């Protein structure tokens, strides 16, 4: 591990109990062949699917976004969600089991494709930045580093675990295997120096980067992406590859390496990472809220970016909007001017004759005799991508309650500061007032997240 490690906090009782349970589970899994562990993991994933509606909703949202820009028909999302839960359970248990299994036994369960894209630069003395996503049985990644030879140093940029006992065990195991670990908080120079020395640095590229990221499209939707792979490769003049890990059979994994052109931008790297993740979507860990919007600033990425980037998005920022009577034009025009990727689902009362000339506005007239939840569901199904936020300034606050039940993170309105609203404004009476509201929703705070 690079640099001076910060002293670990004293473990609490909860940490000790968690650690004991972890070691006990590891010990129990070591009794079984990996095929049996895989089957048990899938059963665990099926149980999680059955009991966790919250996570079913999150995985559904992510997969809808990931497939919304496809030119081909969108896959069966509920079936894909089910498979994702099975794979997640399998990958979790198998990762634990692989960590305590003899490496020679593990090697018999792994197939490599494209290994020359990793070995070629290393044999020339050039470092390799390996970009991957949280995908598949992540513990088999250690086997890939072993394939390059004992004399090649390599390891990940990692985030310390909250449990100090677990973190200490993880670091100890990795370093005993010869890996070099870089704490993500330690800085840029350690990984860059290892790449200059001809080593391998693995970087997880699919995580949300918040206010420290670079805004570009990821699966067609604007997102804050880490610029670290591009910065490291350029500084160290290293090669770069992407890696996918998919399960090809019961406890059988394939690792596929693909080259990324030198000096690629962050946007180009994310495109290559998408390609790797598309090897098998259900093997990706879709439980991370990758495209999360802020609760009070749903149009903000907490970092400034070139507005032209939004023109490249093929998956919109989808807003459910309700405007006060006679304010439809002012509100929709202010929103459409804010970002080129915004798509508005505008709710109007039945009989309201208002029309929009923009293809980025869909009008939904509400039948007051129809249940609000069914009305919301009908709107949601009109587009492949899910609704990102609700801006409900109209006369029907009950729609906000449905949005909350459906997991919409940001619900903005003018009906008071209590739930389900996440932020409220006085309703403006002029176009300028609506522009100010929209600007507040897109505001970049002075300090990023």
pLDDT value, residue 4 = 47
pTM for the full model?
0.92
Among 330, 358, 328, residue whose Cα is nearest residue 343: 358
C-alpha to C-alpha distance for 356 and 333, rounded to whole angstroms: 10
Residue 257: partners with Cβ closer than 8 Å, 6 or more residues away: 112, 113, 114, 115, 117, 118, 130, 241, 242, 243
CB-count burial class (<10 Å; 0-12, 13-18, 19+) for 31: exposed
User: Which position has the token pair 């994702």?
Assistant: 84
Number of neighbours of residue 21 by Cβ within 10 angstroms: 10
> What integer pLDDT is reported at residue 6 of this predicted model?
56
Domains of the chain: 13-283 (no CATH), 307-441 (3.40.50.2000)
Contacts of 259 (CB under 8 A, 6+ apart): 114, 117, 239, 240, 241
336 close to 344: Cβ distance less than 8 angstroms: yes
Q: From the CB of residue 108, how many other CB atoms can be counted at a distance below 10 Å? A: 10
Phi, psi of 294 (to 5 degrees): -75, 145
Burial 62-79 (b: 16+ CB within 10 A, else e): bbbbbbbbeeeeeeebee
Predicted local distance difference test score (pLDDT) of residue 393:
92
- Please give the chain's pLDDT, 449 residues, in tens: 444 445 667 888 898 998 899 889 888 888 999 999 999 999 999 999 999 999 999 999 999 999 999 988 889 999 999 999 999 999 999 999 988 888 889 989 999 999 999 999 999 999 999 999 999 998 888 777 777 777 788 888 888 888 888 888 887 777 766 678 887 777 788 899 999 999 999 999 998 888 889 999 999 999 999 999 999 999 999 999 999 999 999 999 999 999 999 899 999 999 999 999 999 999 999 999 999 999 999 999 888 888 899 999 999 999 999 999 899 999 999 999 999 999 999 999 888 999 999 999 999 999 888 999 999 999 999 999 999 999 999 877 889 999 999 999 999 998 666 778 899 999 898 999 999 999 999 998 765 44
Q: Which residues pair with 246 in a beta bridge?
A: 254
Is 73 in contact with 37 (CB distance < 8 Å)?
Answer: no
């Amino acid at each position: 591990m690079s640099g001076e490690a910060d002293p670990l906090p004293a473990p609490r009782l909860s940490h000790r109990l968690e650690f004991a349970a972890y070691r006990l589970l590891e010990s129990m899994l070591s009794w079984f062949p990996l095929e049996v562990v895989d089957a048990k993991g899938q059963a665990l994933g099926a149980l999680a699917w059955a009991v966790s509606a919250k996570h079913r909703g999150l995985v559904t949202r992510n997969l809808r976004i990931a497939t919304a820009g496809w030119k081909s028909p969108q896959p069966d999302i509920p079936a894909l969600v089910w498979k994702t839960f099975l794979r997640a359970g399998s990958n979790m248990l198998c990762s634990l089991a692989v960590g305590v299994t003899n490496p020679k036994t593990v090697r018999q369960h792994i197939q490599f494709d494209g290994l020359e894209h990793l070995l070629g630069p290393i044999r020339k003395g050039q470092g390799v930045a390996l970009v991957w996503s949280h995908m598949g049985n992540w513990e088999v990644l250690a086997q890939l580093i072993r394939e390059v030879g004992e004399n090649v140093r390599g390891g990940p940029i990692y985030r310390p675990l909250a449990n100090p006992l677990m973190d200490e065990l993880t670091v100890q195991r990795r370093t005993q295997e010869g890996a070099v670990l870089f704490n993500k908080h330690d800085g840029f120079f350690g990984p860059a120096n290892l790449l200059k020395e001809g080593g391998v640095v693995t970087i997880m590229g699919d995580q949300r980067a918040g206010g420290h990221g670079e805004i570009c499209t990821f699966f067609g939707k604007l997102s804050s992406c880490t610029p670290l792979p591009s910065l490291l490769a350029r500084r160290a003049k290293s090669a770069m590859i992407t890696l996918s890990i998919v399960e090809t059979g019961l406890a059988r994994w394939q690792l596929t390496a693909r080259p990324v052109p030198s000096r690629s931008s962050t946007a180009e790297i994310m495109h290559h990472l998408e390609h790797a993740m598309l090897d098998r979507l259900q093997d990706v860990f879709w439980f991370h809220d990758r495209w999360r919007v802020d609760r009070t600033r749903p149009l903000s990425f907490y970092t400034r970016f070139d507005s032209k980037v939004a023109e490249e998005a093929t998956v919109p920022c989808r807003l459910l909007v309700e405007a006060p009577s006679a304010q439809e034009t002012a509100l929709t025009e202010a929103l459409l001017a804010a970002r080129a990727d915004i798509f508005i689902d505008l709710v109007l009362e039945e009989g309201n004759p208002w029309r929009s000339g923009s293809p980025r506005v869909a009008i939904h007239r509400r039948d007051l005799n129809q249940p609000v939840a069914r009305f919301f569901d009908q709107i949601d199904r009109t587009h492949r991508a899910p609704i990102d936020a609700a801006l409900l300034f109209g006369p029907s606050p009950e729609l906000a309650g449905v949005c909350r039940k459906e997991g919409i993170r940001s619900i903005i309105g003018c009906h008071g500061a209590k739930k389900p609203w996440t932020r409220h404004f006085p309703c403006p009476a002029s176009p300028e007032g609506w522009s100010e509201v929209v600007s507040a929703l897109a505001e970049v705070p002075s300090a990023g997240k």
